Amino acid sequence: MPAPVLTLADKLERTMVRTLLGALPEGMQRSLAGGTPVVIDGQTLDASLQFVLAWRARTKRPGLVAGAPNAARAALRRDTAVGRPASLPAVVVRDLVIDGAAGPLAARHYAPGGTGARGAPILVYLHGGGFVVGDLETHDAPCRELCAQAAMHVLSVDYRLAPEHPFPAAIDDTIAAVRWAARHGATLGGDPDRICLGGDSAGANLAVVATMCERDLPVVAQLLLYPPTDAVTVRPSHALFDTGFFLSRDDREAFTRHYLDGTGVSRDDPRVSPLYGDLTDLPPAVLVTAGFDILRDESDALAAALKAAGTPVLHLREKALPHGFANMIGVSETARRALGRAAREWRRTVLAQPSRARETHT
């Protein structure tokens, strides 16, 4: 899958934003973004992202799902290409094709450099995008960062998207991808007995739903970045962060319609809203909540529900960051540090788990 071709205007914007963010102190960034820090619910928004959000407002960027799905997909690919980090960790990357639930799926394998790659755990990664947008390119930078920081293999999966492929196609592809990784993990150079599952936003929802629905899925741990967990209950964070923080309630509503319309599946179905499901005996999880996120409260609620169900959870709260911060590591050092922190805690969590091979022999 080729990277999007940037226009001259795109390249100029990328250069300008990188230059301003790299050269200006925090106070100047806030001044250009409107003056005073953005403080909501006792949280202060990261200065770099306050500047980026103000820039987006001035250039009148549309919502995530404005227009037809294909236009929204192209817009996200363009935005992530413009915001791509100037430098990324050196990892080994190759594109491949894996078995999905209904046919071949594109995938991208990231292997850490050095001798430590052989036999390292494998993270099957599902990109965010509301089940409608996002692909291997939009999430290439965070996958490289996770691979390097966690020192483990990452298999990013281009699962089928709605509305062309509504619920439960993405769930079925997730399950198929995990089983493929378990069969082919040794060929990838990883440990097929230490398969992990994770993702951001919609991808995190798919991860927890898959482990909840398929109890025999060979997953030893989950990485859940700001997951949507409840498509029914209205929560305070929905109103607090509805305007100007990348993901709006209108976006979320449009995503849900595309995912569910015509399926007959209700929004409180646990396969849509995992907060209503049986969360006992799931793999240990690292769950990351973004402070300036309409999903903040329902992500927090999932962390609490997992703990109450006896599932081990490490809950990290990144109070200065908005939804989607894993895709903002090129414009915010705070976002990059947060993703690195999640990766390192994730590595510790995974290495603390017995491999399925050891479990088999005990």
Instruction: Kindly list the catalytic residues.
Output: 201, 293, 323
Q: Taking the CA atoms of 214, 222, 188 and 2 in sequence, report the sign of the dihedral they define.
A: positive
* 174 within 8 A of 159, measured Cβ to Cβ: yes
Neighbours of 43 (CB within 10 A): 17
* 223 within 8 A of 198, measured Cβ to Cβ: yes
Q: What's the CA gap between 158 and 230, in Å, rounded?
A: 24
Q: Taking the CA atoms of 68, 245, 345 and 283 in sequence, report the sign of the dihedral they define.
A: negative
206 contact partners, CB below 8 Å, separation of at least 6: 126, 159, 170, 171, 174, 199
Q: What's the CA gap between 214 and 212, in Å, rounded?
A: 6
247 contact partners, CB below 8 Å, separation of at least 6: 64, 201, 293, 294, 295, 322, 323, 324
How distant is the alpha carbon of residue 223 from its chain centre? 9
* 237 within 8 A of 294, measured Cβ to Cβ: yes
Cα separations in angstroms, 71 against 68, 90, 362: 5, 32, 52
Query: In the numeric block, which tokens belong to residue 151?
Result: 């020192």
DSSP string, 166-195: -TTHHHHHHHHHHHHHHHHHHHHTEEEEEE
